[in-house]
Amino acid sequence: MPNSASADQTPEVSVVLPVYNEEGAIADLVAEIATAFQGTPHEIVVVDDGSTDQTRSILQGLKSTYPQLRPFTHAQNAGQSRAIRSGVEKAAAPIIVTLDGDGQNPPHDAPKLVERLKLAPDLGMVQGRRAKRQDNASKRWASRLANGVRKRLLNDGSDDSGCGLKAIRRDVFLNLPYFDHMHRYMAALVVREGLLVAFEDVDHRHRTTGTSKYTNLGRLFAALSDLVGVMWLRSRRRQHGQVHEL
């Protein structure tokens, strides 16, 4: 259901949605986000990462129905992390919600992450944790293995770094170092900034349209180099405590 009030107010929440070739999912997902945040001034910032299907034209058509929708497009495909960052840079609200563009993260869980973040000033981010993951067995096994290794080495408390549903303060996100695939290490990067991360169980559902943009093997190769890089970043961070004006 559209929320026309959001278009006339400063948004409290910016939902950032990176998409690539999701023509079958995008219309329903925008509708679900609008319903989830009905009554809350919000905007839906969709970044099309150089899709080659009808995703872009569908987004253009949705603008008349959802005035809070702000679609952007990359001139060329740059990856999920770059699309998320582009969306956060364009966002107007102090709180950011991210979701995957394939529709597997039900938007109805997003408001509870936002409320938890609002109530706790010491939290930098609330990360979703897929309670009943609806993926095939090989994908779940690979994810458990990767999460176990990453959690032990980074000590970030995250059991499910791949969950796309997160609520994070915009200023916190923009202070995080950017690199390809950084969206999978956001908990560790927020902790690196001296902030707390909380975790909330969220729903997960089967992909009903399109195809996954990742393979287990491809994700593994990227994860190994990324993990070493994040460990280095953590080792080079020096905390300074609170900053007081004299």
Report yes or no on 149 lying in a domain: yes
Query: Measured between alpha carbons, how far is 98 from 190 in angstroms, rounded to an integer?
Result: 15
Report yes or no on 208 lying in a domain: yes
Report yes or no on 153 lying in a domain: yes
Domain count, the chain: 1
Residue 225's domain is classified under what CATH number?
3.90.550.10
What confidence score (pLDDT) does residue 237 get?
80
Q: How is 29-94 classified by DSSP, letter by letter? A: HHHHHHHHTTTS-EEEEEEE-S-SSSHHHHHHHHTTT-TTEEEEE-SS---HHHHHHHHHHH--SS
What confidence score (pLDDT) does residue 5 get?
46
Q: How many CB atoms lie within 10 A of CB 130?
A: 22
Give Cα 26 distance to the centre of its chain: 16
For tokens 């897929």, name the residue: 130
User: Who contacts 129 (Cβ-Cβ below 8 Å, separation ≥6)?
Assistant: 159, 160, 163, 199, 200, 201, 202
The values of phi and psi at residue 97, to 5°, are -115, 130
Report yes or no on 245 lying in a domain: no
| pLDDT in 10s for each residue of the chain, 246 residues | 454 444 567 999 999 999 999 999 999 999 999 999 999 999 999 999 999 999 999 999 999 999 999 999 999 999 999 999 999 999 999 999 999 999 989 999 999 999 999 999 999 999 999 887 655 555 655 566 666 666 677 878 777 778 999 999 999 999 999 999 999 899 999 999 999 999 999 997 766 675 655 555 555 566 667 888 888 888 888 777 778 888
pLDDT tens-digit map of 117-152: 999 999 999 999 988 765 555 565 556 666 666 667
Question: Which pair of structure tokens corresponds to residue 3?
Answer: 């929320």
Q: What is the dihedral of CA 235, 128, 132, 152, to 10 degrees?
A: 10
Report yes or no on 242 lying in a domain: no
Report yes or no on 246 lying in a domain: no
Report yes or no on 244 lying in a domain: no
Report yes or no on 144 lying in a domain: yes
What percent of the chain shows pLDDT beyond 70? 81
Domain span at 178: 4-235
User: Who contacts 104 (Cβ-Cβ below 8 Å, separation ≥6)?
Assistant: 134, 164, 204, 205, 206, 207
What confidence score (pLDDT) does residue 94 get?
98
Q: Is the dihedral of CA 101, 106, 110, 113 positive or negative?
A: negative
